[in-house]
Structure 1
Amino acid sequence: MHRPKYFTPTEVSQHNTVGDIWVSYLGKVYDLTPLVNEHKGDVLLKPILECAGKDISHWFNSKTKDIRTHVDPVSGCVKYYTPRGRFVHVPPPCPRTDWANDFGKPWWRDSRYEVGLLSAKTRWIRVINTLTSQEQSLEVCSEETLDEILQRYLRYNSNAASYTWKHDGVELDMSKTLSENSVPDEDEEFYHCRLDRDLFSPSICLYFNDDPDELRAN
């Protein structure tokens, strides 16, 4: 089965321009660039643009998955709660003949914009190439398997798949997560002990597979 891709909040925050705008809400990550392009110049984009690269879960009711509502103190009617101002696909507070409501699903319910899931917990690890002694710190998603972490590491070593990955001398199962491989997440302990977690992130050691067939393939 196809696994959804996980993203760190840092990765989401890097998509923060009009031409490349991501947001996250209710545990999912959305690329709203097509929406922005479709409504280019519309003043109703302003609240969305102001939150480019950020988590906007506070805009939503976690149970209904819809925009939060409130009772208008003047009219007594239930209306969408948009303290940053009304945005695309939110109806006007009063009936208007110039508002087109034939857009189908509002963008926050449209799965076309969904690109993956937001990690509930990220971890820092040190990946050490024992062949070259190069070390790289990586922020990874706790939900990711080692195979998925390997994909993150390819930018630093395009031959990473030709290595055996180990922790404390034990070969890791690349189909499992760090926790499932008994690589401890000690962030809470470091926090309570007032230790800098960046100084104590677990290390993953890479050992090159010197199989002659693999060497010829590479």
Structure 2
Amino acid sequence: MPYCPNGRFVHIPPPYPDSNWDNDFGRPWWRDDAYLVGILSQKTRLIKIINTLTSQDQVIEVCSEEIMTEIQDRYMKYNAHAGSYTCKFEGKNLDMSKTLQENGIDDEDEEFYQLSMNDDTYLQPIHLYFNDDLTEA
């Protein structure tokens, strides 16, 4: 049963059987592609981005489907010059057109769950190294 704390609205059935409720309206409005806002992620995860130039770090929740350029765009609110940095994990350059998993950064949340640990105890760090090229504004 849908939770409607402010009362029912269009296409929501009554909380009890009602012969007066007409349910032959076809597709409900919330399943209409015209109102699609986004796609639900299969899984989100936390990552730590460390700026090696300033030693600042940010923890960001990202979708498992996001590629590195999308993560970099989201990091721009913390560092507007993030495009002038090279992203590395364990000393290897990351392919910005691939996801974290495709870059070899495994999601370890399931292991933490099996070990009864908090999943934010250890976050895989992505290091940003400044390129010093001054081409990105």
Structure-2-length-normalised TM-score: 0.82
Q: Deviations over 1:78-120 (max 9, x none)?
A: xxxxxxx753135784458xx8x8x885312311211111111
The number of equivalent residue pairs is 131
SS class of match (2:37):
strand
1:117 aligns with 2:53: no
Per the TM alignment, residue 158 of structure 1 is displaced from its structure 2 partner at its CA by 1.2
Partner of 1:200: 122
Q: Which amino acid aligns with 1:154?
A: M
More helix by share: 1
Q: How has the CA–CA distance of structure 1 residues 94 and 176 changed in structure 2, closer, same or farther, with 3 Å as cutoff?
A: same
Q: How does 1:128-143 map to 2 (within 5 A)?
A: 128-143=50-65
How big is the shift at 1:194?
2.1
Deviation of 1:197 (Å): 2.1
> What do the CA deviations read for 1:22-80 (whole angstroms, capped 9, x no partner)?
xxxxxxxxxxxxxxxxxxxxxxxx82xx39xxxxxxxxxxxxxxxxxxxxxxxxxxxxx
Deviations 1:138-192 (A, max 9, x none): 1111111111111211111111111100000100001100000000111111111
Match of 1:160 among 52, 58, 82: 82
Residue identity (%): 56
CA distance in 2, matches of 1:91, 1:127: 46
Q: Give the TM-score taking structure 1 as reference length.
A: 0.53
Alignment of 1:17-28 (within 5 A): none
Partners of 1:137 and 1:168 in 2: CA distance: 17
Q: Which among 112, 137, 150 is matched to residue 72 of structure 2? A: 150
What are structure 1's unaligned runs of at least 5 residues? Answer: 1-45, 52-84
- The 3 A distance-change label for structure 1 pair 132 and 91 is closer
Map 1:65-84 onto structure 2 (within 5 A).
none
CA distance in 2, matches of 1:145, 1:158: 19
Q: 1:181 aligns with which of 103, 120, 124?
A: 103
Distance 1:189 1:114, change over 3 A: same
Stretches of structure 2 that go unaligned for 5 or more consecutive residues are none
Give, as a single letter, the amino acid of the residue that structure 2 aligns with 1:141. Answer: C
Structure 2 equivalent of residue 88 of structure 1: 10
Q: Aligned in 2, Cα 1:104/1:179: closer, same or farther, shift over 3 Å?
A: same
Give 2:48's aligned amino acid.
R
Structure 1 SS opposite 2:54:
coil
Give the Cα separation in 2 of the matches to 1:114 and 1:189: 34
Q: Which of 97, 100, 107 is 2:29 aligned to?
A: 107
Partner SS, residue 117 of structure 1? coil
